[in-house]
Amino acid sequence: MKKGNKPAKVEILANTSFEETRIAIMEDGRLSELSWERRGSQNLVGNVYKAVVENVLPGISSAFVNIGYEKNAYLYISDVLGGDKEPIDRLLKKNEEIMVQVVKEAIGTKGMKVAMDITLPGRYLVLTPKQSFVGISKNIPEGEKRDKLNAIMSKLAPKYLTEMGCIVRTEAEDATEDELEKELKFLNRTWDSICKRYQESRSPSLVHKDMDLVMQVARDIFSEDTAIYLLDNKEDFDNVQDFVTKISPDLSEKVKLYTAKTPIFTAFNVEAKIEDIRKTKLNLPNGGTIIIQEAESLCAIDVNTGKFTGSKSQEETVTHTNIEAAQEVAHQLRLRNIGGIIVIDFIDMKKASNRQKVVEALADAVQRDRAKIRILPITRLGLVEMTRERKRESTASLLSEECPECRGSGRVLSAESMRIKIQREIKNLTLGRPGGNLRVVLHPILAERIKQKQEVIERNVHRNLKIQSDPQMTWEDYRLVLE
């Protein structure tokens, strides 16, 4: 995991129920990251398949492959082995069988993305069977530890990495030669098993399934920097304990079983924070606000000063608010798992030096984020464009669906618009003839609002009106009854 300037106290909480597994990562007591795995939906990232090429499209340098699901997966030319120089229709043919790995789940209307360059992650190493390069994580600085790892890998590579590559992960910083060799043997056995299943299986079919969520967290996140890995499910606890004892016995004491009666996410105030994830408007500590609007492939974030006026110049007040917003934006992107293109509309600043301060604050705030992030320079209008790696749908998308009343717009017709609409329909229904009584059935809150304008409506339609509320009615729905 990337680290910021100040090390944080990291706690991992795992909640498992019949329907889903949820993992919360707490940093200094604050919820920083959430991961979900639901029984009813497939988590496919990391899975390896024997696939069949369905269509090759040279015009967009892509292919669609069948991996056994209703919707075909998308394969771009840069993810095809040998795809740097040749056009894709020379590399792949329709009905050809290929091995692919899911690198991004289906999000919205977009299908899942796959790659032919397989990667098999372990705790200390990532085996790359289709590559020959052996490298070390850039997060391990130059010095004695990096030199030691280089020496170990130079010794192990000829023995275990014939025509294969490997990346040494940050977690291997203090790993011994014996630990690295054991993991290389394990990853080699895994790759041999995948190749055997690939040869024996009919296409399309699954040939390797990645670990479940609690085990992925134990492999990828749990480290000596973690204070505790607390799980509320005995089976998950036993599996993680067994895994950690084998690969990092010194960390086994940090794996704990939660047995209290109060649900784990309630006890650590995580449940309440999950409820806040659906909010589009968030308050900053000093009175400013940020508004987050997610679309399918783009997220727009607006920053406002709100009630914060500061005690100095307007420029300093705005800069302070923007820096505060940059820190909160970084936190929310990670917490909500927002990926793709992100545009942040900071408040205008006149000085270039202040604009640079805001970009630096944002860059510093995203250091602990494990996703790959690219930040472009801030414009004179205060806009920052950035990208954040996205492998799974955002938390908000997972938790919610399109509102049937507002049709996904986030807004419904105002009470005044509804009044005018109802009034117009009454006039069309009665052909403008006066006399008689009319009953209008509405949503309870809307009924109270319409009652305030009842005299105006009766005067306009020349009829007596009876306004009735019905809790079963939606906001924009109503009934007109002639009596």
Tell me if residue 118 falls in helix, strand or coil: coil
The values of phi and psi at residue 206, to 5°, are -80, 130
Token digits for 283? 């308050």
Beta bridge mates, 22: 15, 36
pTM attached to this predicted model: 0.79
Length of the chain, in residues? 483
Distances (CA, A) of 215 to 168, 334, 428: 19, 20, 65
β-pair type (340-345, 383-388):
antiparallel
- Please answer whether residues 261 and 273 qualify as being in contact, where contact means their C-beta atoms are separated by less than 8 angstroms: no
B/e letters for 337-351, b = 16+ CB within 10 Å, e = fewer, are bbbbebebbbbebee
Q: How far apart are CA 38 and CA 22, in angstroms?
A: 9
Q: pLDDT tens digits for the chain (483 residues)?
A: 444 456 678 999 999 987 889 999 999 999 999 998 887 666 788 999 999 999 999 999 899 999 988 889 999 998 998 766 788 888 999 999 999 999 988 876 778 899 999 999 998 999 999 988 888 988 888 888 888 999 999 999 888 888 899 999 988 888 888 889 988 999 999 999 999 999 999 989 999 998 889 999 998 889 888 999 999 999 999 999 999 998 888 889 999 999 999 999 999 999 989 888 888 899 998 888 999 998 877 899 999 887 656 556 888 888 999 999 999 999 999 999 998 899 999 998 888 899 999 999 999 999 888 888 999 988 878 899 999 988 777 887 777 777 777 777 778 889 999 999 998 888 888 887 887 888 999 999 999 999 998 998 888 888 889 999 999 988 989 999 887
Q: How far apart are CA 51 and CA 415, in angstroms?
A: 54
Ramachandran sector of residue 426 (left: φ over 0; alpha: ψ -120 to 50; beta: rest): alpha
CA 199, distance to chain mean position in Å, is: 35
Q: Which residue has the tokens 């050809």?
A: 96
What is the separation, in whole angstroms, between the first and last Cα of the chain?
70
CA atoms within 13 A on the CB side of 435: 1
Q: How far apart are CA 144 and CA 153, in angstroms?
A: 14
Q: How far apart are CA 384 and CA 360, in angstroms?
A: 12
Tell me, what amino acid is at 474?
T
Angle at 121 between CA 118 and CA 123, to 5 degrees: 170
Q: Which segments of 30-73 does DSSP mark as H helices, in order?
A: none
